[in-house]
Each structure stands twice: as structure tokens, then as C-alpha cells.
Amino acid sequence: MVFSEAMKNSEIFFGKDIISLDQFNRKSIEFLFQQTIKIKKIFMKKGRHDGRPYRPLDGKIITLLFFEPSTRTFSSNSAAVKRLGGQTIEHQNPMQNSSVVKGETIEDTIMMIEQYSDAVVIRHPQVGTAEKVAKVANIPIINAGDGIGEHPTQALLDMFTIYEKYGYLDNIKGLVVGDLLNGRTVHSLIKGLSIFKNITLYLLSPKQLRLSNKDLEKAKKRKIKLVEIKSFEEIPTDCHFWYWTRVQKERFIDKSEYEKLKLSFILTKKLVDMKAGKNTLLMHPLPRVGEIETAVDSDPRAVYLTTEAKNGMYVRMALFSLILKS
Ligand code: CP
């Protein structure tokens, strides 16, 4: 569901599920980013200006239910809840450690969890799972990645990182590289940026991992300009950001095909020196598995290990505070 334009700002997110970037519009993204800036300021100064603690999640419990592995999304959600005064129930690998082992359905698991907590953050290998459980749940469901579908909070933190750097999201030119077919962060990012005006994304991937025709068609309707390129030579030198992604091994049935494609495009210091602009943000949702040379890490434009990852916590803090405000 799209957040309604008619709603007062404070009501835009209250009690809502976060399933897809399809739900968002300009107003809801701008409001979320205002809240993120506010929270980031408070926590970077280690307190509010009046010295009172900021604990909007006091008394709230959020369940993290991760059926796929995670470093950043799991940890940053956990940190976000705790920094805001809330607590978490944490299920990593529920396929082995919960009653799913005994055959419990995902719907039943969610209906149980809602007896104990105020919201659920769920990651699952199957596309559509977050949406499916949101239909049976009476508490907010936040999609932390559904297979090759979407990863909405990652796109929001990526967009916030771009917004924080430039102060706008219209008239943005970006480069997106890697596994565009299976990359859920890319799918959400394209939808998210398409809300803004005059966006051009250059797409570079092995031909087997191009964005699907269905996604290309959808993008056409959204007015975002997608330009498929075939080589580094075609990268324009004035991009606002480069968004590198990993080839998603876990989505390949034929692992020899993965081995063939995994390092098709490597971000090297030499490439950065040749083709990046002086302000181009070097981004990656991570984990990386060889597609970014570690020599790039110390480049001041590289934010994947620092600002981009940290913004994940701040954007999620903002979302929780708005969804669960009491
Ligand atoms: N960006 C991201 O989703 O990373 P994790 O898989 O480590 O959560």
C-alpha cells in the first residue's frame, strides 16, 4: 500500500508494514529522512540538547526472524532497537532453532511471535514471504530481504546516504554493477530512486545477470532512465554514485556458472582513478566477495564500510521510532 498523501506526517508510518519501495512516495521518503537526520544528530552528540535520554522504544520488543544469514541487517536492526530503549527477541537460523524444525508454518510462527512482540523484522529466502506474513499479522512486519525480491530498508539507507551527501535526490546519475537479476537491494533501489525526477542509472552486469525484462518494463513505466552498458569504457565520469554488488552465489543452481561469472566486474583503484568523479560515492550493500579491491577502501569516496553501513542503523532507528511511536 502506498503511504497516503492525505495523512498527517506523524501518521504516515505509524503501525505500517514495510514490504516494498512500491509503498513509498516523495513525501514519505522526505519525512523518513528528516527523522533520520534528527536521530543521527541526537546519537552523534550522545544525547538530546536538553540532556534527556531519547528512548521512543521504551517498553517495546521487536523480533528479528532471519531465515537467511546476515551481518549488517541483523546487527543494525538489533542495535537500532536497543539504542532507542527497546529490546529484541532474536532468531537467527530459525530453520534449525525454532519449531519450524517440527513443521510449524511461517504463518503460525508469526501469529505466535505477535503474542510476544510489537513488530517483526523478517528475512526469508522466498520472494513474497514478508507480504504473505503481513496478511496474517496484527503487528508491523518489516521486510529485511525476501529472496531475490526486495530489501527495502537497504534501499532506504542507500538513498539516505546519497541524499546526505548531495542534499537532493532529483537529477541523480548512478552506476549499478553486478548481479542485477538476483540483487534484491538493486531492485528496491531502482524503485526508490524512480520516485524522484530525472534519474539515470547505468547498468553493468554479465549478460546472464541483467535485470529481468519484467523489471526493465516496470522501470520504463516509472520514468527512471536505465541505460545498459557492456564495459567499463562506457561508464560516464560524472556519476553521483557507483553501486557495486556481489554475484549472489546462493541463487545459482549451477555453481560452475557462478564461478564463471563471480568476478566479471571488479572495482579497482585503477578504475576509480580513471572513471570516478571527485565526489562520486563508492557504495556496496555488502558483503563483498572479491568484487572490490581492498585498496579502494581508503579512498575518501568509499562509504561501503563506514557511512553507508552506519546509516543502516540510523535509518532503521528512524523507521522504528515512526512505526512504533507511542
Ligand atoms: N546489506 C545486507 O543485507 O547485508 P547482510 O546480508 O549482512 O545483512
Domain range list for the chain: 9-151+311-323, 152-309
To the query of whether residue 91 is one of the catalytic residues in this protein, the response is no
Residue with CA closest to ligand 1 atom 4: 72
To the query of whether residue 123 is one of the catalytic residues in this protein, the response is yes
Q: Which three cell numbers stand for residue 60?
A: 517495546
Q: Which three cell numbers stand for residue 91?
A: 532468531
Q: Is the pLDDT of residue 140 over 90?
A: yes
Q: Do domains 9-151+311-323 and 152-309 have the same CATH topology?
A: yes
Of 123, 173, 184, 191, the active-site residue reads 123
Ordered DSSP codes for 144-211: EEETTS--HHHHHHHHHHHHHHHS--SS-EEEEES-TTT-HHHHHHHHHHTTSSS-EEEEE--GGGSP
Q: What is the pLDDT of residue 326?
A: 64
The atom of ligand 1 lying closest to the CA of 145 is 3
Residues near ligand 1 (Cβ within 6 A): 70-74, 145, 151, 154, 285-287
Q: Give the tens place of pLDDT for each residue, 159-173.
A: 999 999 999 999 999
Q: Give the tens place of pLDDT for each residue, 53-90.
A: 899 999 999 999 999 999 999 999 999 999 999 999 99
Q: Is the pLDDT of residue 205 over 60?
A: yes
Test site for ligand 1: of 286, 308, 313, most ligand atoms within 8 A of the Cβ: 286
| The CATH number, out of the four listed (3.30.70.20, 3.40.50.1370, 3.30.200.20, 3.10.105.10), of the domain defined by the range 152-309 | 3.40.50.1370
**Looking at the domain that runs over 9-151+311-323, which CATH code has it been given?**
3.40.50.1370
What spacing in Å lies between the alpha carbon of 62 and ligand 1's midpoint? Answer: 19
Q: What is the pLDDT of residue 270?
A: 98
Confidence (pTM): 0.96
